[in-house]
Amino acid sequence: MIAKPDAIEQLARAPLVDPFGRDISYLRISVTDRCDFRCVYCMSEDMTFLPKRDLLTLEEIDRVATAFIARGTRKLRLTGGEPLVRRDVMSLFRSLSRHLTTGALEELTLTTNGSLLDRYAQELADYGVRRINVSLDTLDPDKFRKITRWGDLDKVLGGIEAARKAGLRVKINAVALKGVNEDEIEGLMTWAHGLGMDLTLIEVMPLGEIEPGRIDQFLPLSVVRARLLDNYSLIEDPYRTGGPARYVRVKETGGLVGFITPMTHNFCESCNRVRLTCTGTLYMCLGQEDAADLRAPLRASPDDAGLHRAMEEAISRKPKGHDFIIDRRRAKPAVGRHMSVTGG
C-alpha cells in the first residue's frame, strides 16, 4: 500500500537519531568505486570494479540524499573512489546545490585526489562548494608515483592551485605511512600552512586485502605528534568540521593540524555519520560490516515511504563504535571491503 502524502511528510520531519542519542547529520556518499589512482593503502593494483548496472543512477543518489536532508542531514560529502571520474557527476552537484539555496543543507563538499580539479574547480565553486579535502601523502614526485602507482604529482598540485584560485578552501589529508612519508610530515605541514591550507593526518585503517602488510605501514599518530612537539608548539583548538579529526593550532605557522586516530584513540563517541555506497548500501559504521540495502526500497516505489522506513531501521542498528584492530598474528584486515568501497 502506498503511504499517503501527509504520512510521508510526517516521516520527513522526524530527525534520524541512533540508539545512543546521536543525531545523524552527516552523510558521506561514494558516487563510484572507480579511481584513476591505485593508492597502496586503499586498493589493490589489480582491482575488479562494479559493473555500471549495479550503480545507483545520479538521480537515485540525489533522491536518497534529499531524503536524508529531510531527516536532518546538514552536511553532505561526495567521495569515491575518485568522485570526479564519475560521468556527469557535476550534474549531481548542480542538483544538490538547491538544498544549499533553500538552507536545508549547510554544506556540500567532496574528498578528491585532485587529479581532475583543474577541470572542475570553478564549476564546484559555482554550485556552492566552499571547501574540499584533497588526499596527498607526499610532495616527492617519485614517492608519489610509488604510493599512488598511477598518479602524477604535478597534475595534483595544479588542481590544488586551480581550486584555490576558484576560492575553494582546501584541506590536505595525508595518511601517515611508516617508512614511507614519516620523514616528510613536517615539510608537508609547513608547505600546506604556507599556502593557507590546513593538514589532517590519518592513521592507516585495516580495510580490505592489499599487497603491503598493514603492520609495516602503521604509524601511530601519537608518535607523529610527539615528533612535531620537538620543534613546534601545538595548541589544542576547538575547531571541528563534523568529521572525526581533532585539531591543534601550530603556533609557529598559524595553521591547523588534525589527527584522525581510529587505531590509537577511538573517535566514535560523538559519531554523527553514515556512509552510502554507489550501489545503495548504507554502512552505519566504517569499521563494521553491518549494512542496509536502500536500493531495493528506492526502486520499489515512486514515493519515499519505504525508503524512509529502511533508513530508520538502519539507523536503529548504528553501533556505538568500530572494532578496528591490526591483527599482528594473522595480518588480516578488520573489515574485508576496501576503503574505496565506502569512501573513507
Binding site members for S-adenosyl-L-methionine:
41, 81, 135, 205
Q: Which of 201, 202, 188 is nearest to 160 (CA)?
A: 188
Number of other CB atoms surrounding residue 341 within 10 Å: 24
Contact 287, 335 (CB under 8 A): yes
Annotated binding site for [4Fe-4S] cluster: 35, 39, 42, 268, 271, 285
Annotated binding site: 28, 35, 39, 41-42, 77, 81, 111, 135, 171, 205, 268, 271, 273-275, 285
Q: How far, in Å, CA of 170 to CA of 109, rounded? A: 11
Contact 341, 48 (CB under 8 A): no
Q: What is the DSSP string of 167-194?
A: T-EEEEEEE-BTTTTTTTHHHHHHHHHH
Residue 293 is inside which H or E element, if any?
A: strand 291-293
Q: Three cell numbers at 10? A: 510526517
Beta bridge partners of 282: 276, 292
Q: Which of 170, 175, 177 is nearest to 191 (CA)?
A: 170
Q: Dihedrals φ, ψ of 132, to 5°?
A: -140, 160
Annotated binding site for GTP: 28, 77, 111, 171, 273-275
Give, in order, the Cα–Cα distances in Å from 302 to each of 2, 4, 220, 277, 326: 9, 12, 48, 21, 44
